[in-house]
């Protein structure tokens, strides 16, 4: 197999926000396995980000860790400057950093609302805007990719499925759905591809209470037609494909990686 098949992202550079753990860490590793050099962004877990970098380097890849709060405009600008200083150019930006601050709406504080909107929606906007500014300045290099740049938003099935007790999170993810489509429409003619991935229930820290223990897991599996919880690599594989030229004609879409969670499983036996 030649390199363009085994390493379809060879010589490309990627930034993955919030890749010190969970889905982001898996995406960073996968992009590196496919040949990209990766900036592993984190907010507070420097040690975990260093572990991700070490695991990439141990497999022969290239990576560095960079701390930045994605909800802070100047921090995001600094993060992109650091990527350019280290890599020269960026080809792939994955906006993934996300948090939950759950509460019934009547009890939800403005701080909980703002924290989630600031990281999960404004953070995506800030990362995507810097990516666009950078991609606009870069020449398309057909030896690297047919696109001038690729942006991938990690959304959620909750861009579609309402989620009682998590209105801030669902509102942010619903916003990402329109951000994806509006931005894709705006920049597609410049050969910049914007797409999203909507994971279902993936086994990470963010939703530990939903899968830890047999009772929680069997309750969760009732919502998943494919009858297994998702693993971080399920999402990472989709991200690597969306970032590659194999997906060159995929523009402005959301790829659901959810074991069928959005298929209204309650209707599986006729409703
Ligand atoms: P996770 O394991 O808790 O990871 C969250 C990551 O985001 C961490 O690396 C964290 O870094 C980073 N982060 C949080 N706030 C940040 C900020 N302000 N600036 C920069 N980085 C920040 O969660 P996950 O499950 O992998 O979630 C990743 C994304 O997938 C989120 O957008 C989430 O909504 C989405 N998602 C997850 C699932 C699921 O089932 N797990 C399903 C659908 C969608 P630090 O630890 O360094 O702060």
| Cβ proximity of 14 and 92 under 8 Å | yes
Rounded alpha-carbon distances, angstroms, from residue 271 to 198, 218, 267, 268: 25, 20, 4, 7
Q: pTM of this prediction? A: 0.98
Instruction: Count Cβ atoms below 10 Å from residue 49 Cβ, excluding itself.
Output: 27
**Residue 63 — φ and ψ, nearest 5°?**
-160, 155
pLDDT of 6 reads 85
Tokens of 226: 């494919």
pLDDT in tens, the chain (271 residues): 557 678 999 999 999 999 999 999 999 999 999 999 999 999 999 999 999 999 999 999 999 999 999 999 999 999 999 999 999 999 999 999 999 999 999 999 999 999 999 999 999 999 999 999 999 999 999 999 999 999 999 999 999 999 999 999 999 999 999 999 999 999 999 999 999 999 999 999 989 999 999 899 999 999 999 999 999 999 999 999 999 999 999 999 999 999 999 999 988 888 6
Cα angle value 9/16/191 (rounded, 5°) = 55
State yes or no: is 169 an active-site residue. yes
pLDDT of 1 reads 53
pLDDT of 138 reads 93
Active-site pick, 42, 124, 169, 264: 169
C-alpha 24 – ligand 1 centre gap (Å): 7
Rounded-to-integer distance, Cα 37 and Cα 13, Å: 5
Within 6 Å (CB) of ligand 1, which residues are found? Answer: 17-24, 41-45, 69-71, 96-99, 119-120, 154, 156, 199, 201-202, 204-207
**Residue 59 — φ and ψ, nearest 5°?**
-90, 10
**Coil, strand, or helix at residue 51?**
helix
pLDDT of 208 reads 94
């Amino acid at each position: 197999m030649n390199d363009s098949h085994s390493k379809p992202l060879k010589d490309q550079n990627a930034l993955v926000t919030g890749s010190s753990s969970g889905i982001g860490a898996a995406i960073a590793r996968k992009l590196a396995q496919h040949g990209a050099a990766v900036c592993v962004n984190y907010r507070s877990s420097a040690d975990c980000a260093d572990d991700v970098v070490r695991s990439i380097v141990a497999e022969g890849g290239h990576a560095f860790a960079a701390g930045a709060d994605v909800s802070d405009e100047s921090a995001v600008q600094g993060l992109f400057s650091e990527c350019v200083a280290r890599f020269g150019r960026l080809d792939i930006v994955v906006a993934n950093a996300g948090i939950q601050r759950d509460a019934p709406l009547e009890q939800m504080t403005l701080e909980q609302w703002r924290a989630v909107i600031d990281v999960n929606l404004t953070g995506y906007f800030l990362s995507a805007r810097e990516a666009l500014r950078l991609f606009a300045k870069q020449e398309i290099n057909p030896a690297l990719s047919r696109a001038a740049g690729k942006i991938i938003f990690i959304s959620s099935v909750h861009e579609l499925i309402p989620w009682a007790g998590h209105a801030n999170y669902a509102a942010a993810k619903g916003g990402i759905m329109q951000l994806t489509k509006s931005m894709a429409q705006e920049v597609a003619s410049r050969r910049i591809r914007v797409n999203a991935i909507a994971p279902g229930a993936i086994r990470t820290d963010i939703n530990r209470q939903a899968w830890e223990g047999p009772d929680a897991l069997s309750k969760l599996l009732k919502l998943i037609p494919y009858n297994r919880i998702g693993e971080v690599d399920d999402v990472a594989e989709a991200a690597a494909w969306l970032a590659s030229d194999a997906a060159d004609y995929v523009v402005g879409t959301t790829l659901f990686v959810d074991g069928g969670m959005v298929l209204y499983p309650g209707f599986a036996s006729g409703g």
